[in-house]
Amino acid sequence: MYHLAVLVSPHVEPLPPPNTGSIAINGLHPSSSLGYTNYLYAQLADDTIHGYNISFNAESTAFVPGDTFQIQGLAGVPGTHLTVTSLSNPSGGASILAFYQTEGNDITGYSRDKDGGQWTGAMVAIPG
């Protein structure tokens, strides 16, 4: 047989208010899709694609200062779907890749080293 003992104190400390935090991407396209690998990707209202490094730390979640970028390529079709990934390189590093539409009948892919550098891109026509 088990017995339950409950200790009750006449003095009750109120809980402190919860800490909350938030981050916002200004100028986000109203129908932007989002993608996430090492970075959060989003389309801005000017149709350009940007990446944001985010430090996920509960109520202290924040953008990593100085670690955002714009993909240096063609702007996306308004509201384009984003597909992003990260791939290991034979040299031991990694590349980040983003795929989206720039004309509406294509898939355009851009890649660069995850630590920075120039974006390269190629358009793949979709046979119709």
Q: How far apart are CA 27 and CA 42, in angstroms?
A: 10
Is pLDDT of 81 > 60?
Answer: yes
- 108 forms beta bridges with 100, 123
Q: What percent of the chain has pLDDT over 70?
A: 88
Res 108: pLDDT: 95
Query: Which residues, listed in sequence order, are joined to residue 107 by a DSSP beta bridge?
Result: 124
Contacts of 35 (CB under 8 A, 6+ apart): 41, 42, 82, 83, 84, 98
Could you read off the pLDDT of 90-111 as tens digits, one per residue?
888 999 999 999 988 889 999 9
Does residue 8 surpass a pLDDT of 90? no
Task: Provide the whole-model pTM.
Answer: 0.79
Question: 125 — alpha (psi -120 to 50), left (phi > 0) or beta?
Answer: beta
Shortest CA distance to 48 belongs to which of 80, 86, 23? 80
Residues constituting the chain: 128
**CA–CA distance, 45 with 61 (Å, rounded to integer):** 24
Mean pLDDT of the chain: 87
Q: Tell me what pLDDT residue 45 has.
A: 97
Q: What is the pLDDT of residues 18-67, one digit of tens each?
A: 666 678 899 999 999 999 988 999 999 999 999 999 998 877 888 999 99
